[in-house]
Amino acid sequence: MALNSKIPAGEMNQKWEDYKGHVKLVNPANKRKIEIIVVGTGLAGASAAAALGELGYKVKAFCFQDSPRRAHSIAAQGGINAAKNYQNDGDSVFRLFYDTVKGGDYRAREANVHRLAEVSANIIDQCVAQGVPFAREYGGLLSNRSFGGTQVQRTFYAAGQTGQQLLLGAYSALERQVALGTVTQYSRHEMLEVVIIDGKARGIIAKNLVTGEIERHFGHAVLLCSGGYGNVFYLSTNAMGSNVTAAWKAHKKGAFFGNPCFTQIHPTCIPVSGDYQSKLTLMSESLRNDGRIWVPKAKDDNRRPTDIPEEERDYYLERRYPAFGNLVPRDVASRAAKERCDEGYGVGTTKLAVYLDFADAIKRYGRIEAGKQGNHNADDATVITLGKEVVKEKYGNLFDMYAKITGENPYETPMRIYPAVHYTMGGLWVDYELQTTIPGLYALGEANFSDHGANRLGASALMQGLADGYFVIPYTVGNYLADEIRTPAIPTTHPAFEEAEKAVKDRLSTLMNIKGNKTVESFHKRLGKIMWDKCGMARNAQGLQEAITEIQQLKKEFWSDVRIPGEIGGMNPELDKAGRVADFIELGELMCLDALNRNESCGGHFREESQTEDGEAKRDDANYSYVAAWEFKGESQWEVNKEALNFEIVKPTQRSYK
């Protein structure tokens, strides 16, 4: 099938303006008759549901959590980018666009990224109007900070809880629409199938997770805002419930999956402590603004970090990348940590960790602070005391979190960190209008593949989620729905609903009836280990082929030996988890296939076969400058469709941070 990305013609900076000027509209009286289903209530879903409700559509919003406010967008820490140029430091829509395309290692679609940069400023305005309490300066104006990989200060933030504040803003807009009657909220509901009638998405089958009932819901359009699939690795910074199920059901019904192997491994997370570990915790990238990363120069050095003298430490990022030092992009920092640990220089009990050290920052800030107080000959103890206060003001909540989890005091001893799966750039393939290859089915936010290429820059996920929901989908979905005004609501007694519901029920009873010996969790852990070892920070053809075989084997074992307690009716979290893990297993296979197909290194995807002499990632633009959009053809069978990427403005170059 030929992919049509529907990129509007014209100059890059006029495309979105032109599109909006010519897009089809739905008149208010007709909007009231049109129903839209939104799956997921994170930044993308909550903002889309609220914005569409405001327009007068009849919206149904679904989430598996007990409230829309729990969606995992809430855990984003660092901030949200916007090309406001409030700092007068040379930022612009063009620079944000350029940085994002380059940061994504030239594997994103230029037109989408440009639109994202254009609407970024509106997002900040909207959030402030909703009462989002961003950090401010003494003059009462908004504060900005810098973030990895960029040279301007364009990141807006609310302490280390920016995602929380933005999500609560979108949630409040959503709840307002619920009160006004335009949105109906379905919490503790999980989408288990998409219903397709005459080639168009017309509804979903959802499970009420409290009563166990299977429900049918009609919609003229269905929006999947169900987040990323990092939990395929079992251990990730995602919430425990984050899953790929909604997107995967759509994929198996015909929606192509774009660049599934593009995974972001975040360099600064708290390391694994044991095999009971259920999730990993991110320490905001902002810590790299002041912290210095190092390992001992000697292998197996078991001294305490504070006992290792300066000359026996290897500040490997500063050594390898003098220009960017500790502020290299996430993919580069993660691989460098892995390289040191693989070579035997890792620290801590597992030897899979490196130090993130604030001792220098504490001294530096302490001296500045002492100077401000007129004390130019302060002794070391005074300097350190003052410095700790400054560091506490900047990073206090992160240091507290580290102390709670590890029981160590990061003001006194360096933190131990290690990379962890954090975000997935891949997702359902969408065109410029965010429509998947199934008409009427859209994917927004992390659930789609579109804007971050092979590597997402910090503080850009929140931006994309809200851009899609508040400012893109209200226009683009109208273009589709304008032709649907003559379609009356289809009764859910339609055979397509019957059939989809039956498929869902059959699968649930199949799962319950396996009555095997192994827990769902044990399968998920095994899948995660295969993925992390063979489709993680470094990948090679042999490992990926092995992984595919192992995953196929695991799948067989799952469907013959999984044990799910409880009953099919009523509340059964283990059954819900089993369905998600079954989907993750299938996705894992596709990710390995995609990674195997892409025999180049780009962004977060590092193929060992494709590296420079000094071990840096080597892109292959001649052969791989495309989006791999995978079409499901049957069990373990996929066909790759290629969307060629054309770079009109930002000409691809080898990224260098040296």
Partner 1 sequence: MEHYKMNLTLKVWKQKDSSDKGGFETYQVKDISSEMSFLEMFDVLNEQLITEGKDAIAFDHDCREGICGMCSMYINGKPHGPWEQNTTCQLHMRAFKDGDTIVVEPWRSKAFPVLKDLMVDRTAFDRIIQAGGYISVNTGNAVDANAIPIDKKDADDAFAAAACIGCGACVAACKNSSAMLFVSAKVSQLALLPQGLPERKTRVLSMVAQMDKEGFGNCTNTYACEAECPKGISVTNIARMNREYLNAGLSSE
Q: What residues from 299 to 328 belong to the interface with partner 1 (CB under 8 A)?
A: none
Nearer to partner 1 by Cβ, of 270 and 645: the residue is 270
Task: Using CB under 8 A, pick the residue from 25, 129, 298, 541 that binds partner 1.
Answer: 129
Instruction: Specify the DSSP element, H or E, that contains 1.
Output: none
Nearer to partner 1 by Cβ, of 161 and 226: the residue is 161
Binding mask 325-354 for partner 1 (x = CB under 8 A): ------------------------------
How far, in Å, CA of 580 to CA of 413, rounded? 40
Nearer to partner 1 by Cβ, of 239 and 500: the residue is 239
Map the footprint of partner 1 across residues 84-113, applying CB under 8 A: 84, 86
Map the footprint of partner 1 across residues 53-82, applying CB under 8 A: 54, 65-72, 74-75
> Is residue 31 a contact residue for partner 1 (CB under 8 A)?
no
Task: Using CB under 8 A, pick the residue from 165, 182, 231, 243 that binds partner 1.
Answer: 165
Query: What number of H helices and E strands is found in the chain?
Result: 18, 21
Map the footprint of partner 1 across residues 513-552, applying CB under 8 A: 519, 521-522
> Is residue 185 a contact residue for partner 1 (CB under 8 A)?
yes
Extract the tokens encoding 185. 């909220």
Binding mask 386-425 for partner 1 (x = CB under 8 A): ---------------x--xxxxx-----------------
Query: Which of 105, 99, 144, 162 minimizes the C-alpha distance to 465?
Result: 162
Q: How many residues sit close enough to partner 1 to count as binding (CB under 8 A)?
A: 83
How far, in Å, CA of 446 to CA of 111, rounded? 18
Binding mask 277-296 for partner 1 (x = CB under 8 A): xxx-xx--------------
Task: Using CB under 8 A, pick the residue from 16, 62, 134, 257 that binds partner 1.
Answer: 134
Binding mask 481-520 for partner 1 (x = CB under 8 A): --------------------------------------x-
Map the footprint of partner 1 across residues 207-226, applying CB under 8 A: 210
Could you tell me if 149 and 329 are in contact, meaning their C-beta atoms sit under 8 angstroms apart?
yes
Could you tell me if 209 and 571 are in contact, meaning their C-beta atoms sit under 8 angstroms apart?
yes
> Is residue 241 a contact residue for partner 1 (CB under 8 A)?
yes
Which amino acid is located at 402 in the chain?
Y
Q: How far is the CB of 151 from partner 1 (least distance, A)?
A: 22
Q: Which residues pair with 189 in a beta bridge?
A: 208
Nearer to partner 1 by Cβ, of 8 and 56: the residue is 56
> Is residue 28 a contact residue for partner 1 (CB under 8 A)?
no
Which amino acid is located at 532 in the chain?
W
Could you tell me if 81 and 119 are in contact, meaning their C-beta atoms sit under 8 angstroms apart?
no
CA–CA–CA angle 133, 138, 142 (5° rounding): 40
**Phi/psi at 570 (5° precision):** 70, -165
Nearer to partner 1 by Cβ, of 278 and 377: the residue is 278
Nearer to partner 1 by Cβ, of 274 and 488: the residue is 274
Nearer to partner 1 by Cβ, of 169 and 296: the residue is 169
> Is residue 382 a contact residue for partner 1 (CB under 8 A)?
no
Q: How far is the CB of 20 from partner 1 (least distance, A)?
A: 12
Which amino acid is located at 134 in the chain?
F
> Is residue 164 a contact residue for partner 1 (CB under 8 A)?
yes
> Is residue 138 a contact residue for partner 1 (CB under 8 A)?
yes
Q: How far is the CB of 464 from partner 1 (least distance, A)?
A: 16
Extract the tokens encoding 153. 């200060």
Write 243-247 long-range contacts (CB < 8 A, 24+): 243/580, 243/583, 243/584, 244/580, 244/583, 244/584, 244/587, 245/190, 245/191, 245/192, 245/579, 245/580, 245/583, 246/39, 246/40, 246/191, 246/447, 247/427, 247/428, 247/443, 247/447
Query: Which of 44, 544, 632, 451 minimizes the C-alpha distance to 261?
Result: 544
Extract the tokens encoding 145. 């900070």
Task: Using CB under 8 A, pick the residue from 7, 12, 142, 352 that binds partner 1.
Answer: 142
Q: How far is the CB of 187 from partner 1 (least distance, A)?
A: 7
Q: How far is the CB of 386 from partner 1 (least distance, A)?
A: 22
Query: Which of 226, 186, 191 minimizes the C-alpha distance to 206?
Result: 191
With contacts defined by CB under 8 A, name the span among 19-27, 135-143, 377-385, 600-608 that binds partner 1: 135-143
Q: How far is the CB of 191 from partner 1 (least distance, A)?
A: 17
DSSP designation for 467: I
Task: Using CB under 8 A, pick the residue from 11, 89, 125, 639 that binds partner 1.
Answer: 125
Map the footprint of partner 1 across residues 454-473, applying CB under 8 A: 470-471
Extract the tokens encoding 498. 């019957």
With contacts defined by CB under 8 A, name the span among 237-245, 287-295, 388-396, 422-430 that binds partner 1: 237-245
Radius of gyration of the chain (CA): 25
138: left (phi over 0), alpha (psi -120 to 50) or beta: alpha
> Is residue 563 a contact residue for partner 1 (CB under 8 A)?
yes
How far, in Å, CA of 523 to CA of 442, rounded? 31
Nearer to partner 1 by Cβ, of 125 and 608: the residue is 125
> Is residue 128 a contact residue for partner 1 (CB under 8 A)?
yes
The dihedral through the CA atoms of 272, 273, 279, 281 has a sign that is negative
Query: Which of 440, 49, 37 minimizes the C-alpha distance to 206?
Result: 37
